Structure 1
Amino acid sequence: MHVRVYSSIDEIEPRAWDEILGRDATICSHAYLKAVEGSAINDCLFRYPVVYDDAGRVLAHTCMFSISMDMALFAQGAVRALVGAVRRVFPRFLTLRMLECGTPVALGRQITLRDDADAEQVLAQLVAAAETIAEAAGLNYLLFRDYRNEERGRFDALTAHGYSVLPNLPDAVLEVRWRSFDTYLADMRSSYRRKVRLNLSRIADRGIRSELLTDFRHLADVFAAQWRYIYDHASEYKREILTPAFYRNINTHLPGSRVLVFYQQDRLIGHCLLLVEDDVLRWMYVGKDGEEAEDVYPFMLYEIVRHAIEAGLRWVKLGITTYVAKTDLGAEMVPLYMYMKHRTRLFPKLSPWLFRRMTPLPPQFAKSVFRRETGRLPTAVSP
């Protein structure tokens, strides 16, 4: 067994890379990584470790990238105020450059393992590759993300290499079990259904409508500008900055890409970037055109659910943040975990502690949204 690190996804034959992919693995696919690599996201530098067996078969692969990370990204209250005060004197206080195993524009586990691969041996190879990449780039922080509870049995082997387990922000996931949007609403308890209908009535009064696009490359510049408006006004999350090339590349390389666009009369006021694979709809990004589109967000969520139902999909992955709105739709919060390490002797324990302090988790509780409850979300949301 040995590992080889490639500096571009184009150095790897797509069929060899995709051969070991499972279902719902778009963010691990050759096409997706090619789209992201060519999009000039932030200051990212990508590397692709591939583990081979002695016969030359691919046993595992992943994407690793370096990025500048704000450790106070999710800080709140007094901590946020304190960081802000220090940054008036030291602008880059708690802004660190780190090596992550994943992609800068997707939530979910990035490591792909062949079914018959020895996970511990493979992870040892990937850890060694990460250390080599980090050392060459002068990076001390290393991060493997994002793993669900049921995956930790395999990936807790990272702790033997000095990594600490950290909770990440949870993913909001809705299980689709309705034949139409009307039956979805009818299944809601009256208080939640009343809120949806009130919002839909307001949207109708303003003449706002949605349209689903499968070819949207011609709107890439508009979408990037709308995303930038979200970025500039965000209070919960600000990291990656999308480019027009990102939207063009996603549409060019991924046949499952979709965009829900929102119009007020003839003016395009917002969009939602979606990926569809197998029976899963993944909401990637949202963009808006100024303050007039601020209260369209609930309608965007409704239309995402409507599209998933009409497409016969089973799962909607709604991502992190804005949990109140997403759980009001019936989504459940699925815990995610990361593995972090600092390469120096001084900070191995301090860094995870600092990250926990700077990243308060939202309260997780079950809402009784539907009259016909089916129990907690299954662990097998998707492999």
Structure 2
Amino acid sequence: MIPFPQGVVKVLALAELRNCGAWKRALQNKCKDHRYYEIVQETLQCGFEHHYLLIEDHAGQVRAIQPVFFVRQNLVEGVRGKVRSIVGTIRKMFPRFLTMRVLMVGCGAGAGDLGVWDKDDEPFVAKALQSSLQTYARQNKASLVVFKDFPAIYRSALEVLYSSGYARIPSMPMTRLSLRYKNWDEYFGTLSKATRKDLRRKFRKAERAPNIEMEVVTDVTPFIDEIYPLYLAVHERSALKFETLTKEYFHAIGQQIPERARFFIWRQN
């Protein structure tokens, strides 16, 4: 239990939240609600230590439940060549060489959110985290506190963190494609002459190839043995890695939160 000027923060495990109504309300308006966080904890094997901060005010009212996790971060992630080889050799004797225990606020697989159900509580929760996280990190021997991949909509609420030494650093961008066109012809007309010519050539070539079929499903379980090796192949080519999704993760997404899941599968016969 960690007191702060406006209330108290209690550290809970997932098992303690199972029958907690506040946990089901937390994140209820987000794309990734409480069920997603449970899936991440139960299906990913990334060395994450998951905990949940229940934030109460002095009246005993629960204002938020904030997911957090500890991870031992590799400080040479993405480094290649001789340096990586030297570090690998040293780690055979000292496995934690050039690693750091980090307290992450947010989600282990995706962008982070504040665990509130009332948006008006965001400033209160931000101040509670500002007052308690450094204490919590010290208690657990974490050297760094990171709000992982929080989108820009939280900048106003989280500005209070600057006074405690936090800094905002750009993360890997989320991908969003704005479709401002009524139909294909309108979009095609906005392209340059050279691009339109190139696309027509590619379309003619595609017409001579076997058809590409697209299927949209909410549960990818029947296809997991086909798609999972493709995911791993792409994942292993990346120089920067954080979490590795598992087959169990994909199963659970489709079976536990199907109304929030869409899988697009393309096949060429």
| TM above 0.5 | yes
Say whether 1:248 aligns with 2:251. Answer: yes
1:26 to 28, 31, 39: 31
Identity among equivalent positions (%) equals: 21
Rounded Cα–Cα distance in structure 1 between residues aligned with 2:48 and 2:201: 43
Describe the superposition over 1:255-305 as per-residue Cα deviations: whole angstroms up to 9, x where unpaired: 22011112221xxxxxxxxxxxxxxxxxxxxxxxxxxxxxxxxxxxxxxxx
Match of 2:222 in 1: 218
Match of 1:3 in 2: 9
Say whether 1:89 aligns with 2:89. Answer: yes
Higher RCO, Cα 8 Å, sep 6+:
1
Residue type at the aligned position of 2:64: A
- Comparing 217-226 with 42-51, which one deviates more in the overlay? 217-226
Say whether 1:17 aligns with 2:20. Answer: no
Whichever structure has more helix as a proportion of its residues is 2
Task: Note the C-alpha offset of 1:115.
Answer: 2.9
1:44 to 44, 48, 67: 48
Whichever structure has more strand as a proportion of its residues is 1
**2:44 is paired with a residue of what secondary structure?**
coil
Rounded Cα–Cα distance in structure 1 between residues aligned with 2:190 and 2:85: 49
Rounded Cα–Cα distance in structure 2 between residues aligned with 1:56 and 1:196: 62
Task: Note the C-alpha offset of 1:146.
Answer: 2.4
C-alpha distance 102-21 of structure 1, shift in aligned 2 (>3 A): closer
Q: Is the 8 A contact 1:9 1:34 kept in 2?
A: no
Task: Note the C-alpha offset of 1:186.
Answer: 3.8
Describe the superposition over 1:76-127 as per-residue Cα deviations: whole angstroms up to 9, x where unpaired: xxxx4463243243246544332211212113x32134333361x4334224
C-alpha distance 118-260 of structure 1, shift in aligned 2 (>3 A): closer
C-alpha distance 210-194 of structure 1, shift in aligned 2 (>3 A): farther
Residue type at the aligned position of 2:216: L
Task: Note the C-alpha offset of 1:251.
Answer: 0.9
Rounded Cα–Cα distance in structure 2 between residues aligned with 1:193 and 1:51: 56
Q: Is the 8 A contact 1:46 1:66 kept in 2?
A: yes
Q: Is the 8 A contact 2:27 2:114 kept in 1?
A: no
Residue type at the aligned position of 2:178: E
> What TM-score, normalized by structure 2, do the two folds share?
0.78
C-alpha distance 22-251 of structure 1, shift in aligned 2 (>3 A): closer
- 1:73-112 alignment to 2 at 5 Å? 73-74=77-78, 80-81=80-81, 83-91=83-91, 93-107=97-111, 109-112=112-115
Structure 2 gap ranges (5+): 1-6
- 1:44-83 alignment to 2 at 5 Å? 44-74=48-78, 80-81=80-81, 83=83
Say whether 1:238 aligns with 2:241. Answer: yes
Rounded Cα–Cα distance in structure 1 between residues aligned with 2:170 and 2:53: 25
> RMSD between aligned alpha carbons?
3.0
Rounded Cα–Cα distance in structure 1 between residues aligned with 2:187 and 2:15: 42
Rounded Cα–Cα distance in structure 1 between residues aligned with 2:194 and 2:158: 41
Residue type at the aligned position of 2:31: T
Match of 2:264 in 1: 260
Task: Note the C-alpha offset of 1:36.
Answer: 1.2
**2:101 is paired with a residue of what secondary structure?**
strand
C-alpha distance 10-187 of structure 1, shift in aligned 2 (>3 A): farther
Q: Is the 8 A contact 1:100 1:143 kept in 2?
A: yes
Task: Note the C-alpha offset of 1:40.
Answer: 2.7
C-alpha distance 239-178 of structure 1, shift in aligned 2 (>3 A): same
Residue type at the aligned position of 1:175: S
Residue type at the aligned position of 2:40: V
**2:243 is paired with a residue of what secondary structure?**
coil
Residue type at the aligned position of 1:50: L
C-alpha distance 206-10 of structure 1, shift in aligned 2 (>3 A): farther
